[in-house]
Amino acid sequence: MQVFTGIGVNGGIAIGQFSMYQRKVTEIVRKSVEDVDSELTRFQEALEKTVVHLRKLYEKAVSEVGEATAMIFEVHQMMIEDREYIASVENIIRAEKVNAEYAVDLTAINLSNIFSSMDNEYMKERAVDIKDVSKKLLSFLQDNASEEIKMNKPVILAADDLVPSETVQLDRTMILGFITQQGSANSHTAILARTMDIPAVVGVNIELNSELEGKLAVIDGFDGRVYIEPEQEVLMKLMKKQLQDNERKSLLKQLKGKESITKDGQVIKIYANIGNSEDIDSVLNNDAEGIGLFRSEFLYLKNDTYPTEEEQFVAYRTVAEKMSGKKVIIRTLDIGADKKVDYFNLDKEENPALGYRAIRICLDRNDLFKTQLRAIYRASMYGKISIMFPMIISLEEVRKIKVIIEEVKKELGEEGISFAEVELGIMIETPAAALISDILAKEVDFFSIGTNDLTQYTLAIDRQNQKLDKLYDPYHPAVLRLIDVVAHNAHDNGIWVGICGELAGDLTMTETFLQMEIDELSVAPSKVLALRNEVINFSSK
Ligand code: PEP
Ligand code: MG
């Protein structure tokens, strides 16, 4: 039995066979290049990224599992930093005037052949390592960020990392749980694991190799542990824990259909967050009272090109219809930072979280924004839709949005297309928006506080950075003060206020949010009933 630890990002026990996910390296084709220098630079850049990646894995492994296990990452690093390796790649690029991918691949084949032909058993084994580390280098070279992961039986997926676009495409009928070597607790991949209710542990110090394929594994998402081929006694304990979790969930099912009201009669709405229309079943099963955050960008992340107005209309209409008159708050496109889409052709940025993203892109690209707004307005005839806008920092942005909305409505009217009047709200996820929320409240129908980004921007802590997870503190008094200010400003101006960041589902905060008179909490579907339980059992006396 082997036990590894990481960060549990979604509670739950998963038991099943491991399936290794190696990000596919697109077929290596030999291409002639004119500009040899830029090919050499591409190779150098990919090499640097690979070294940084291996260094991080090594450091983490040393501190958590010791030098001996960590050595493998150091060996890999030494291999690609070896003068012979680098010289071979560069010589091939220069001499044959070919692309870096081809040169790396050829070097890996040549060197692994040399290793395989050695007499020494230890050296023979290095043939696999040179191929492994070259594959990693190739994935950086090809910028292979995302792809669909195929599974043909229920498995626990193990990967070096999963980006949001890969996670959102996981087949729910097959995925029992996942573990990744990298990742932070507040990334969108972690949020997706919670939304899709997949037990998951990230930042696990494990060497992923083909020997793990098919082995029995257990993920304990509650305490961030991963067991490989657990001993009988341990397995029994984990199975019991799984059973208890299931029993707890079925007890909570008794709260379905009940109002979320405290013992003193304070009512709070409990809504659910979704990423796409497939999440609706879970929303209905868990009896959410509405959808407080439909992260519409996942429609874009799943696609190879811009989803058309018609495609978006179908998705929004499906959700609105299935919710049968319950509120559905669609957040307009929040692309950027960790949510990257190739076809947007966005420039690489030094600080993507502070960069060109969300409403900033939409207000720049009217065509894109209007297509989405048209689809939402058309779908508004099929249910109770509201719209909210992400990453707001100023009154000017809100005013610009309203002008565009009027244009969209006018155009739809002229085309004879019906639409309903919808509530318009904004996300409060920047300190700027929180601090001018008294002004913004006069312009919109509601606020939804995005505590994930509000924490990131208030504390200047990158929510993606695993190293800073310990400092990422949504309970920081500065964050809580901002939430309180926003709640007051909303109510003083006669609008309602909700919270849709991860903190909304944190049961240790429910009392505080009730005291702040927050009107709505929007959480992962699987958390709705536990939150209702907390509310129903709360009394201020
Ligand atoms: C937030 O920032 O709290 C939020 C809900 O938006 P996202 O997590 O998608 O950035
Ligand atoms: Mg956000």
Read off the pLDDT of residues 311-322 as tens digits, 9 standing for 90 and up: 999 999 999 999
CATH superfamily for 36-141 is PtsI, HPr-binding domain (1.10.274.10)
Residue 65 pLDDT greater than 60, yes or no: no
Pairwise CA distance, residues 536 & 516, whole Å: 17
CA of 429 to the centre of ligand 2 (A): 6
Comparing 165 with 66, which gets the higher pLDDT?
A: 165
Pairwise CA distance, residues 435 & 416, whole Å: 41
Residue type (1 letter), 336: G
389: nearest Cα among 379, 398, 376: 398
Atom of ligand 1 nearest to the CA of 337: 10
User: Is 362 annotated as catalytic?
Assistant: no
pLDDT of residue 340: 84
Atom of ligand 1 nearest to the CA of 448: 5
3-state secondary structure of 236: helix
Read off the pLDDT of residues 220-275 as tens digits, 9 standing for 90 and up: 999 999 999 999 999 999 999 999 999 999 899 999 999 999 999 999 999 999 99
List phi, psi (to 5°) of 169. Answer: -95, 5
- SS (HEC) of 135-168: HHHHHHHCCCCCCCCCCCCCEEEEECCCCHHHHC
> Strands, E, within 181-314: which ranges?
200-202, 216-220, 225-228, 269-274, 291-295
CA of 415 to the centre of ligand 1 (A): 35
CA of 20 to the centre of ligand 1 (A): 30
Write down the residue that tokens 């959102």 correspond to: 168
Measured from the CB, is residue 453 less than 6 Å from ligand 1?
Answer: yes
129: nearest Cα among 210, 190, 60, 202: 210
In the set 53, 76, 362, 500, the catalytic residue is 500
User: Per-domain residue ranges for the chain?
Assistant: 2-23+148-238, 36-141, 269-536
Pairwise CA distance, residues 116 & 179, whole Å: 32
Q: Whose CA is nearest to atom 8 of ligand 1?
A: 452
Measured from the CB, is residue 331 less than 6 Å from ligand 1?
Answer: no
Of 49-58, 378-387, 400-409, 455-464, minimum mean pLDDT range = 49-58
Residue 188 and residue 273 in contact, taking contact as beta carbons nearer than 8 Å: no
Antiparallel, parallel or unpaired: β 225-228 and 216-220: antiparallel
CATH of the domain spanning 269-536? 3.20.20.60
Measured from the CB, is residue 297 less than 6 Å from ligand 1?
Answer: no
Residue 23 pLDDT greater than 80, yes or no: no
Read off the pLDDT of residues 162-200 as tens digits, 9 standing for 90 and up: 887 788 778 889 999 999 998 888 888 898 899 888 999
**In 98-127, which positions are buried (b, 16+ CB within 10 angstroms) versus exposed (e)?**
bbbbbbbbbbbeebbeebeeeeeeeeeebb
What does pTM read for this prediction?
A: 0.76
Residue 352 pLDDT greater than 80, yes or no: yes
Of 61-70, 160-169, 205-214, minimum mean pLDDT range = 61-70
pLDDT of residue 139: 81
CATH domain 2-23+148-238 topology = Glucose Oxidase; domain 1 (3.50.30)
In the set 188, 476, 488, 491, the catalytic residue is 188
Q: Give the residue ranges of DSSP H helices in 253-325.
A: 280-285, 297-301, 309-322
Read off the pLDDT of residues 265-304 as tens digits, 9 standing for 90 and up: 999 999 999 998 889 999 999 999 999 999 999 999 988 8
